[in-house]
């Protein structure tokens, strides 16, 4: 028969011991940097596996009673006495999953989230062959995650680990399991490179994907025309899928000068800071036309498309004839929704935007994240970027001197880079013969604006050459 412990202990001596054991945790406020204490109390309980810290409540008196109860239960478990959860440990695990999902549905959790939990938990059971709740253990669940690591991204594995742990917390909270069985699960891909590395899109590819989306079928309640605007906004702002999904019509702002901005609230950004991004033309005009049709609280891009954003853009890419997988010397590169952010980063880099401004526009805490992740490009991308660079050879710059022409020497015309060969050519003219008539006869040499930074260096070299011949020449740069 299961033993249950109440909150009445008959003696204040035990509560007096417990009083000294409850405490508030100290943490650092990320906004102010100050040391603070938690609102809830915590306590420590000795279980069969060692001491564990357990969260309690805000009331000190109630926290003492809760901790005393937990310690008595832990003592009974260590002594081998049955506890209340034993009645469920011998039950079918599928029944526990049904109860868990029904409880979450009653709490108001979305049906799509509940269905995702059911699919993932049933897949875990199919792998581990669990039948009874007593058979649940973290080792087999960790093996399941390790097997999925070969085909799943680190983010997906982290979501799976979170879903398993969520189910474990519910089992412990409802006293159906002594503790959370999945509390020690770890993401096997943490710190590793993502399996599907995105590649940036060219302008031609992006336009083809946008055109395909315009006439495409709705995807997770997101229509084709609305999807086309989504792609345009994503590639010119660098916003992530979750940030774009949170945007409402009221978050699009147009200032007095006609400039358009989108504002993402802090709770929806990755770094939990408010984001404000400019939207250039002609995307800004399309966005304003969409906002005019909506109420301020309406979402710009509704639906549950964020869970399948990669599938969505790959479907449009295939319809447009764009390859979704590209072989490069660095490995395979994929077209994913994050490719739009990579395209934004690459265009900032190839456009010559300063690295500090690029960091602000990408909203990176450290510039190394851009240079090491988004700053790396493969050979194909470098080749495509190089096609837009036009380098013309410098025009011939005449360096005529009357005396030099009369003597027929070789320095009548300089056809190479003047910033490099000017001083050497002038020295050759000065060494050619009669120096008495050298004065203002040297024509002015026009230097390109890009080479102005070498004027001082050239002037010093010319001055040293004239000093060597003990002559004074008035040479001017225009």
Model pLDDT for residues 172-196, shown as the tens digit of each residue: 888 888 888 898 888 887 655 556 7
Q: 26-28 and 42-47: which strand pairing?
A: unpaired
Instruction: Indicate the pLDDT class of residue 296, thresholds 50, 70 and 90.
Output: very high
Q: How many CB atoms lie within 10 A of CB 118?
A: 14
Q: How far apart are CA 421 and CA 447, in angstroms?
A: 12
* Cα 462 to chain centroid, rounded: 54
Q: Is the pLDDT of residue 396 over 60?
A: no
Instruction: Indicate the pLDDT class of residue 478, thresholds 50, 70 and 90.
Output: very low
- The pLDDT tens digits of the residues spanning 204-224 come to 999 999 999 999 999 888 999
Length of the chain in residues, anyone? 478
Higher pLDDT, 6 or 460: 460
Q: Is the pLDDT of residue 120 over 60?
A: yes
Q: Is the pLDDT of residue 57 over 90?
A: no
Q: Which structural domains are found in the chain, ordered by start?
A: 12-84 (no CATH), 88-173 (1.10.150), 203-386 (1.10.443.10), 397-468 (no CATH)
Residue 398 β-bridge partners: 413
Listed residue (413, 332, 342) closest to 373, CA to CA: 342
Instruction: Indicate the pLDDT class of residue 349, thresholds 50, 70 and 90.
Output: confident
Average pLDDT over residues 362-371: 80
Query: CA of 307: how far to CAs of 105, 216, 265, 314, in Å?
Result: 20, 19, 20, 14
Q: What is the 3-state secondary structure (H, E, C) of the chain?
A: CCECCCCCCCCHHHHHHHHCCCECCEEECCCCCCEEECCCCEEEEEECCEEEEEECCCCHHHHHHHHHHHHHHHHHHHCCCCECCHHHHCCEHHHHHHHHHHHHHHCCCCHHHHHHHHHHHHHHHHHHCCCEHHHCCHHHHHHHHHHHCCCCCHHHHHHHHHHHHHHHHHHHHCCCCCCCCCCCCCCCCCCCCCCCCECCCCHHHHHHHHHHHHCCCCECCECHHHHHHHHHHHHHHCCCHHHHHCCEHHHEEECCCCCEEEEECHHHCCCCCCEEEEECCCHHHHHHHHHHCCCCCCECCCCCHHHHHHHHHHHHHHHCCCCCEEEECCEEEECCCCHHHHHHHHHHHHCCCCHHHHHHHHCCCCHHHHHHHHCCCCHHHHHHHHCCCCCCCCCCEECCCHHHHHHCCCCCEECCCHHHHHHHHHHHHHCCCCCCCCCCCCCCECCCHHHHHHHHHHHHHHHHHHHHCCCCCCCCEC
279 neighbors 261 (Cβ within 8 angstroms): yes
Q: Is the pLDDT of residue 47 over 80?
A: no
C-alpha torsion sign, points 365, 367, 370, 373:
negative
Task: Quote the pLDDT of residue 85.
Answer: 59
| First and final C-alpha spacing in the chain | 102
The tokens of 177 are what? Answer: 């399991």
Cis peptide leading into 403, omega within 30 of 0?
A: no
Share of the chain above pLDDT 90, in %: 31
């Amino acid at each position: 028969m299961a033993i249950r412990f109440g909150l009445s202990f008959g003696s204040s001596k035990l509560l007096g011991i417990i009083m000294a054991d409850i405490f508030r945790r100290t943490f650092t406020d990320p906004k102010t940097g100050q040391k603070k204490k938690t609102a809830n109390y915590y306590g420590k309980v000795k279980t069969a596996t060692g001491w564990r810290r357990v969260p309690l409540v805000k009331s000190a008196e109630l926290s003492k009673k809760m901790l005393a109860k937990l310690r008595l239960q832990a003592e009974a478990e260590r002594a081998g006495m049955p506890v209340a959860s034993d009645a469920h440990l011998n039950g079918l695990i599928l029944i526990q999953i049904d109860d868990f999902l029904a409880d979450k549905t009653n709490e108001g959790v979305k049906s799509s989230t509940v269905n995702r939990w059911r699919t993932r938990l049933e897949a875990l059971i199919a792998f581990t062959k669990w039948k009874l709740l007593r058979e649940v253990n973290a080792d087999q669940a960790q093996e399941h995650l390790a097997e999925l690591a070969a085909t799943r991204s680190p983010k997906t594995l982290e979501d799976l680990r979170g879903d398993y742990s969520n189910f474990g917390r519910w089992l412990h909270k409802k006293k159906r399991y002594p503790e959370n069985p999945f509390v020690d699960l770890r993401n096997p891909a943490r710190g590793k490179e993502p399996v599907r590395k995105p590649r940036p899109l060219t302008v031609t590819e992006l336009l083809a994907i946008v055109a395909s989306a315009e006439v495409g079928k709705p995807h997770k309640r997101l229509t084709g025309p609305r999807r086309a605007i989504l792609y345009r906004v994503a590639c010119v702002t660098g916003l992530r899928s979750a940030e774009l999904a949170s945007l409402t019509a009221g978050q699009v702002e147009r200032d007095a000068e006609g400039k358009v901005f989108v504002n993402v609230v802090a709770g929806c950004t990755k770094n939990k800071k408010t984001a404000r991004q400019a939207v250039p033309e002609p995307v800004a005009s399309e966005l304003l036309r969409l906002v005019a049709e909506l109420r301020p609280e309406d979402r710009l891009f509704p639906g549950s498309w964020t869970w399948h954003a990669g599938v969505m853009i790959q479907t449009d890419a295939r319809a447009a004839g764009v390859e979704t997988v590209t072989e490069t010397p660095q490995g395979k590169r994929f077209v994913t929704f994050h490719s739009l952010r990579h395209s934004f980063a690459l265009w900032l880099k190839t456009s010559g935007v300063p690295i500090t401004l690029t960091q602000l526009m990408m909203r990176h805490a450290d510039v190394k994240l851009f240079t090491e992740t988004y700053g790396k490009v493969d050979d194909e991308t470098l080749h495509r970027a190089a096609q837009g660079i036009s380098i013309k050879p410098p025009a011939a710059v005449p360096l005529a001197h009357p005396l030099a022409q009369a003597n027929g020497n070789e320095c009548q015309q300089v056809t190479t880079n003047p910033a490099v060969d000017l001083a050497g050519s002038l020295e050759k003219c000065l060494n050619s013969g009669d120096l008495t008539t050298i004065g203002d006869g040297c024509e002015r040499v026009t230097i390109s604006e890009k080479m102005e930074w070498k004027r001082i260096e050239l002037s010093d070299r010319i001055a040293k050459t004239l000093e060597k011949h003990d002559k004074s020449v008035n040479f001017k740069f225009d």
